[in-house]
Amino acid sequence: MALKELLKNKAINGRRLFWLISGPISVAMIIAMSRTDLSSGPAVSSMIQLSVRCAVPLLFIAFASSSVQKLFPGPFGIWMLRNRKYVGLCFAAAMAWQGFFILWMTIIHSDYYANEVYVLRDAIEGVLGYLFLTAMVVTSFKPGRKLLKPRNWRLLHLSGIYFLWAYAFSVYWWNLFYYGAPVLLDYIYYCGGLLAWTMRAAAWGKKRGGLKDTATAAKLLGGAIIVFALVAANTGSVWWQSAENVLKPTAFLESLELWLPYWPFTPFLPLFAFGLGVFLMTKAKA
C-alpha cells in the first residue's frame, strides 16, 4: 500500500515528472558546455555523446513500460504506463540537445563533420529518427492527436518507438562486438536495450495466450531457440562476419548497406530468433 501511495505523488507524475527529469538534464548540458571548449569538432562530438547517454535510458524505459504491466501487474507497472508519455517527452528533450549539437557541428565545424563523422546511412537513420520523434511529440498532445485516426496514431507511435530503440540498440551492439575497446557504459546500455526487447517479446507471448495450451515439443523447441538467441546476443564478435557474408552474397545486396537503415540487420538476428522462440512456446488464443 505504501508503494502504491508513493507512486501517486504528484511530484513524480505527469508534467512534474517531466520537469523533474528534463530539468537536471538541461542543467547538466549547460554546465558541460561551460566547461568545454566548443571551438573544435571533437569537443562538440563529446557533447553529442553526452546528450545521447542522458537520452538512451529514457528511451529504453518508455519502450519497456507497457511490458512491465503485462508481465508484472501492479502499482509500479501502472505508474510506468501512466507516465510513459512524459518519459518519452524527457527522451525527446534530451535528444533536442543532441540535435542542437549536431547542427552546431554541421554548421560551425562542417569540415570535421564531412571528413570524420558523415556516413550516408548514419545520416539517413538519424534524420528518420528525428522525423519519427518530432511526429510522436506533436501527436502526444490533443491538437496533434486529433490529426490522426486512432489506428494511424498507434501505427506511428509503435513504428517510431521501435525505430528509435533499434537505432540506440544497434549503436551499442556495434560498440561491443565490432569497434572494440568498449567502456562500461556500453555494456550497461546494451544490456538495457536487450532487456527491454526481451520484456516486450515475453509480454507479446503472454498476450498471445502464454504457455498453457502449447504442445510440449513446441515448448522445448521454442525454449532451445530462446537459449540459443540469448547466447548469440552476447557473442556477436564470434559470428557477425559469417552472418554478413551469408546475407550479402551479391554486390547489390552489399551496396544496400550504404543507404538502407540497419541492413543487413546483423545486431537484430538473435532478437528475431528470440521472437521465434516465444512464438513457438506460446499458443495464440482462439
User: What mean pLDDT do residues 24-50 have?
Assistant: 94
Q: Which of 39-43, 86-90, 214-218 has the lowest mean pLDDT?
A: 214-218
Q: How confident is the model at residue 208, as a pLDDT?
A: 87
Cα distance from N-terminal residue to C-terminal residue, the chain: 37
Note the pLDDT tens digit of each residue in 256-269.
888 999 999 999 99
User: Which pTM value belongs to this model?
Assistant: 0.94
Note the pLDDT tens digit of each residue in 92-105.
999 999 999 999 99
CA-CA-CA-CA dihedral for 136, 142, 143, 147, to nearest 10? 60
Q: How confident is the model at residue 34, as a pLDDT?
A: 93
Question: Do residues 81 and 66 lie in contact, with contact meaning Cβ atoms separated by under 8 Å?
Answer: yes
User: What mean pLDDT do residues 65-77 have?
Assistant: 92
| CA gap 89, 18 in Å, rounded | 7
Note the pLDDT tens digit of each residue in 141-196.
999 999 999 999 999 999 999 999 999 999 999 999 998 789 999 999 999 999 99
- E strand or H helix that includes residue 272: helix 269-281
| CA gap 129, 126 in Å, rounded | 5
